[in-house]
Amino acid sequence: MGKGVASLFLVSTRRWLNWITDIARDRIITYQIIAIVAVYGVVFRTLGLGRSLWLDEVWEANAIIAPSLRIMFYHSSWLPTCPPLFLVLVRIMVEIFGLSNRVLRIIPSLMGLLSALAMVGLAARLLSKRFALLASAMFIFSPAATEFSRTLKQYSSELAVTTAILLLAIIYLEHATLRRFWMLTGMIVLGLLMAYSVAFLLPGIVLVVCFSPACSESSVAGWNGKHIKPFVRAFILATLSGGILIGEYLVFVWPNLADSSALRVIWATWTTTLNGTRGFARAFVFRGYDLIRYLPLPGRLLERMTLVGATVVLILLFGVVLAWRKYLRGNRIWLETQVICLLPCLLLVIADRFHWYPMVERTGLFLLPCIIMLVASSLQLTFDFIIESLRRDWLLPFRDVALVCVTLLVIWVGIHNSSLGPFEDVAGAVSFLR
């Protein structure tokens, strides 16, 4: 009697699990999840553009509607700290469509949409289908990413530029041709004009380009008919991007720093308040954990700092080890991706600690695609290694079920933490002059 009940229970459990795995792996379910991610991604980045400007946005609005480009770039009264190309693009929108809150936010919203599209392409390029869907959902439903896509600040542009550079870097590393190298270089040069934060990506990309074997192209040759070697490509990339960065600093950043002490005071206040009296190691841990807060995770889970931090560190550690293992076997793309994504995170934390560049919620947002790709690639490497080592293909359906459940959780948290309607800060709203 007991054996019969146990046997019946096992059969029922197996049928129930098979039913769940069939639903989770059904294409219709996958397409429905993709549709939800796409629709909410667009809605979150376009709804509420006409709400009142808040104080930081008014600084940028005053610069954008200035009588001349010179006043737009240099005016101590409103601290024009945005990159030059971002200000020019918003100014063009105002010239075409007229002055309004909605028009002022067109460029940030477009950049938010472009960053989402670039992230989908990036995830699909490197990750398997289920992990790519999870990574895309984590990016699109990030509360900080959606909010700054509806804000007259440059942070959604930084996010779009970073994601596009990562996408082109992965495309280049897959097949390191000269044409793809110039595409990557051009995107970095353009990105520096849109986002100063691209500087944190440069060391990792230059390092990877230097050590990646170059591929020959019969139709595209370098100087004297010879193909440019990796070291020369890295030198060209570093020289061009470094020159643009130095030029921007001397022309746009330094004059504003010299003419106004307000920006220095604000940065000093941020870094002093955030770092306090913590030691270097403690501040490093806290800053690293702040990067995790960009992900759409439940609030109660984020409150458990030790558990979440230790779990993420363990996942990343496994990812680096397994990426190195694949590198030794001739598969370079995983380790190169880890380097490109991990190095800017470390550099930003170090820059914040030494008061070179303040790290707050908005200034670190450009690292969101790096964080997501680190976590997603490490998870995929770990799952693939476990299934391959155990040689149990029956674990694949359970992995898919787990990924679908986590993706749905991310979507639910993202919708719950994001406001669908326009928010009017009446007390803090500031009108601007034509």
pLDDT, tens only, 27-73: 666 667 778 788 888 888 888 888 888 777 887 888 888 888 887 88
The most confident of 18-22, 203-207, 260-264, 346-350, by mean pLDDT: 203-207
**Rounded CA separation 215/197 (Å):** 30
Q: What is the DSSP string of 178-240?
A: HHHHHHHHHHHHHHHHH-GGGGGTHHHHHHHHHHSPPPP-SS---GGG-PPPHHHHHHHHHHH
Whether 205 contacts 188, CB under 8 Å: yes
Q: Which pLDDT band, with edges at 50, 70 and 90, does 25 fall under?
A: low
Task: For residue 61, give the 3-state DSSP assignment.
Answer: helix
* Distance, CA of 316 to CA of 245 (rounded, Å): 31
Please state the pTM of the whole predicted model: 0.85
Cβ atoms of 379 and 263 within 8 Å: the answer is no
Q: Would you place residue 261 in the very low, low, confident or very high pLDDT band (cuts 50, 70, 90)? A: low
User: Does residue 422 belong to any structural domain of this protein?
Assistant: no
Residue 268 lies in a domain: yes
pLDDT score, position 239: 93
At residue 222, the pLDDT reads 46
When comparing pLDDT for 224 and 137, which is higher? 137
Residue 369 scores a pLDDT above 50 = yes
Question: Is 20 part of any domain?
Answer: no
**pLDDT tier, 422 (very low <50, low <70, confident <90, very high otherwise):** very low
Cα separation, 334 vs 393, whole angstroms: 23
pLDDT value of position 140: 92
The owner of tokens 């007390």 is 427
pLDDT higher than 90, residue 420: no
Q: Is the pLDDT of residue 330 over 70?
A: yes
The per-residue pLDDT for 313 is 85
39 assigned to some structural domain: yes
Q: Residue 7: pLDDT above 90?
A: no
- In the three-class reduction of DSSP (H, G, I as helix; E, B as strand; rest coil), residue 160 is classed as helix
DSSP letters of 290-312?
HHHTTS---HHHHH-HHHHHHHH
Q: How far apart are CA 171 and CA 122, in angstroms?
A: 9
- The mean-pLDDT minimum among 116-120, 276-280, 378-382 falls in 276-280
Distance CA 412, CA 419 (A): 13
Contact between 234 and 209 under an 8 Å Cβ cutoff? The reply is yes
SS (H, E, C) 374-392: HHHHHHHHHHHHHHHHHCC
User: What percent of the chain clears pLDDT 70, i.e. is strictly above it?
Assistant: 76
Per-residue pLDDT for 12 more than 60?
no
Is residue 434 predicted with pLDDT exceeding 80? no
Asked if residue 239 belongs to a domain, the reply is yes
Q: Taking Cα atoms as reference points, which of 104, 148, 65 lies closest to residue 364?
A: 148
Q: Report which listed range, 15-24, 142-151, 288-297, 359-368, is most confident.
A: 142-151
Please give the mean pLDDT across all residues of the chain. 80
Structure tokens at 268: 């000093």
**Residue 193 and residue 161 in contact, taking contact as beta carbons nearer than 8 Å:** no
Question: Domain total for the chain?
Answer: 1
Pairwise CA distance, residues 433 & 219, whole Å: 55
| Domain span including residue 346 | 26-417
Apex 235 CA angle, 239 and 176, nearest 5: 120
Decide if 271 is inside a domain.
yes
Residue 298's pLDDT band (boundaries 50, 70, 90)? Answer: confident
Alpha carbons 184 and 171: distance in angstroms, whole number: 9
Give the pLDDT of residue 238.
93
